A and B are shown apart, each in its own frame.
Chain A
Amino acid sequence: MKTMIMTTWQEMLRRKMLLITLVLTALFLAVFWFIADTVALDSSGSGDLLGQFARRSAILSLGFFFGGFVVAFLAIFSSFSVISGEAEQGVLQSVLTRPIPRWKWYVGRWIGYVSLIGGYALVLFVSMVLITKFHAGMTRDYGDIWVSLLLFVGAVPALVSMSMLGSSLFSGIGNGVFMTMLYGAGWLGGMVEKVRGFLPVEPDVEATLSRTGALLSLLMPADGLNRRMQYILTQGAGETLPFLTGGSPPSQAFVVYAAIFTIFAFGVGLWLFKRKDF
């Protein structure tokens, strides 16, 4: 299993996926630093503490709006062809005839992706929290930060598990499209909920929008976890930018659902992989 974990890391480093992401992330963080510095300034000197907190929260939400996308696409595009792509190329055939159980290959690859992308998500999270702390004066208690971190990083195993499951079923390109659409559906669910939160609509329309948004979020809970994380980190104060944090945040039950979703996707993917003909 160690061999497969190392191979996965080597793959991501050698194919420059991580390098490109890190360079672009550095650029983003520089811009984010500037925005945090500028927007958080209280130029009027009114001393409106609540207003300041709301502005700072909105900056943080803006950062994680971007961060959620980057982590999701890194997780999807690094793992979407791990099984079907390698089988199509003939890489897997020589590996799977070695005396290792198939589950070790699968788990090794999964750990490889989750650890590296999870590590990236951790760095991104810490960077954004520190930037907003030192340049926008946004402080949160450590408990909230820890829970938020877990929720932010928690999207990675959900995405990788689903991506590897899809890769057992579909061709490389097919799974790339499938995963992008699935993530898009979850993201759309969040947007529907945000729209519901700030549009003046009839109660029955509001209920329909809420149900639709919730169902779409269940298809892929990664974006829902991100919204929950932003809510905890900002205590809902980021609602000054409704497209970022409007509507009701996903509940605690949703987090439990996301955990079950991840375990289920991982288990079904592993089961399919063990039975697959190559």
Chain B
Amino acid sequence: MTPDIPAIQTQALSKIYENGRGCRNITLRIGQGEAFGFLGPNGAGKSTFVKTLVGLVRASGGEGSLLGSPIGSLEARRHIGYLPELYRYPEWLSGEEVMKMHAGLLGLRGEEARKRIRAGLDEVGIGRRGSDRVKQYSKGMQQRLGLACALLGDPSILFLDEPSSAMDPVGRREVRELLLELKKRGKTLFLNSHLMEDVEAVCDRMALMLNGDMIRSGTVGEMLKVKVRWRFKVGGFSPVLLDWLREASGLPVSAEQTEHAEEMSWEAPTWLEAELEHEEQAGLLNMLIVEQGMTLYESSMHQEKLEDWFLEAVSGRDQRGEQR
């Protein structure tokens, strides 16, 4: 496969349903081996976009390709593994039989199919329960089975819609590790998830969807802007010292707002905050605070998390999921 062909490419791809919802004019280029995170609140259009890419819904406009083949074509579908968001497998089948059915649809037969089924179930941790009927599986186990099915054809591109939403913390961690392993193997990952830590840990780039539009995209680092906020808990603080501290350090220090200004008294500890570029600046502030006779109880660093960024990005916009 030519490495310069993008794994996923779309040009103004849209899918508008009769009720006006869906996704609009999404232009993306995701390289081979890249892990891409797709974020957005419920009803933002993420799943619609993925369904359009995997050929489950017909695009209303624009175009797209997977490894150079038009989306929805048989050739494009040969490259993909897909774990839908809401899915169930026929409960009258066992895990192995579900895999066997998918192997049949992939054209895998005989020993090759058996080997891959066994390896796939083992990889997601349900190898011992393979002969049990799906109706005896917990939600988390069904999700693992879904992952095994998605991986069965050794696809180049994996579309995973909330791959660990029904799992317990151990399961989530295992899935995250599996995704990192798949990324190492050179698979292209397209991850739709509400679990920010998954996206943060696995993805190289990400995009934010809101009301059917892609409002931001970039690398995870760019999105978070690597902001570092320092907090200092001090005793013996007086508001007059704040101006002095700013002047002496040249740093944007602020005191945490309290409902009643009078509470900011000599005795009560106060929180000071500052966005700093490096640790030395925090050291300087620590020194100045102590020099002025204040008591420094605590000095801590808070890096912005993807969840904070996400909440900030969607706050103040239209009501969740509603069309503008």
Q: Spell out A's residues near B (CB within 8 Å).
A: 2-3, 6-7, 10-11, 14-15, 89-91, 93-101, 275, 277-278
Contacts and interface: CB of A to CB of B under 8 A. Distances in A.
Nearest to B80: A97
A278 B56 contact: yes
Interface stretch (B83-91, B166-174, B181-189, B279-287): B83-91
Given A94-B84, A94-B149, A278 B57 contact: yes
How large, as a class, is the contact surface on chain B? 20 to 34
B321 to A, nearest CB: 19
A100 B56 CA distance: 13
B56 A97 contact: yes
Interface stretch (B38-46, B97-105, B220-228, B241-249): B97-105
A240 B270 CA distance: 102
B93 to A, nearest CB: 7
Given A95-B101, A277-B17, A277-B58, 16 more contacts: A10-B92, A10-B93, A11-B90, A89-B88, A93-B87, A94-B87, A94-B89, A96-B56, A97-B80, A98-B77, A98-B105, A98-B106, A99-B106, A101-B74, A275-B58, A278-B56
A2 B17 CA distance: 34
Contacts, number: 74
B158 to A, nearest CB: 11
B231 interface: no
A3 B17 CA distance: 32
Interface in B52-88: 54-58, 74-75, 77-78, 80, 82-84, 86-88
Contacts of B17: 277
Contact of A93 (B56, B78, B106): B56
Sorted from nearest, which 9 A-B pairs have the closest CB atoms?
A3-B104, A90-B87, A14-B92, A98-B105, A277-B57, A93-B84, A99-B77, A97-B82, A99-B78
Nearest to A86: B90
Contacts of B89: 91, 94
A98 B153 CA distance: 9
Interface in B178-222: none
23 contacts: A2-B104, A3-B104, A6-B104, A11-B90, A14-B92, A90-B87, A91-B88, A94-B102, A94-B146, A95-B102, A95-B105, A96-B56, A97-B55, A97-B77, A97-B80, A98-B105, A99-B78, A101-B74, A277-B17, A277-B51, A277-B58, A278-B56, A278-B57
B101 A96 contact: no
Contacts of B87: 89-91, 93-94
Contacts of A6: 104
A3 B98 CA distance: 11
A91 to B, nearest CB: 6
A96 B150 CA distance: 12
B81 to A, nearest CB: 8
A3 B105 contact: yes
Contacts of A94: 82-84, 87, 89, 102, 146, 149-150
Contacts of A11: 90, 92
A11 B89 CA distance: 12
Nearest to A15: B92
A202 to B, nearest CB: 51
Nearest to B103: A3
A277 B88 CA distance: 18
Contacts of B78: 99
B88 A99 contact: no
B56 A7 contact: no
Nearest to B73: A99
Contacts of B83: 94
A10, A93, A96, A98: most-surrounded residue (chain B CB, <10 A): A98
Contacts of A98: 77, 102, 105-106, 153
Contacts of B80: 97
A99 B56 contact: no
A3 B58 contact: no
Contacts of A93: 51, 56, 82, 84, 87
A91 B142 CA distance: 12
Contacts of B90: 7, 11, 91
Contacts of A89: 87-88
B135 to A, nearest CB: 10
Contacts of A97: 54-56, 77, 80, 82
A96 B92 contact: no
A15, A97, A101: most-surrounded residue (chain B CB, <10 A): A97
B49 to A, nearest CB: 13
A277 B56 CA distance: 6
Contacts of B107: 99
B69 to A, nearest CB: 11
B155 to A, nearest CB: 10
B92 A100 contact: no
Contacts of A90: 84, 86-88
B101 A3 contact: yes
A275 B55 CA distance: 11
A92 to B, nearest CB: 8
B286 to A, nearest CB: 55
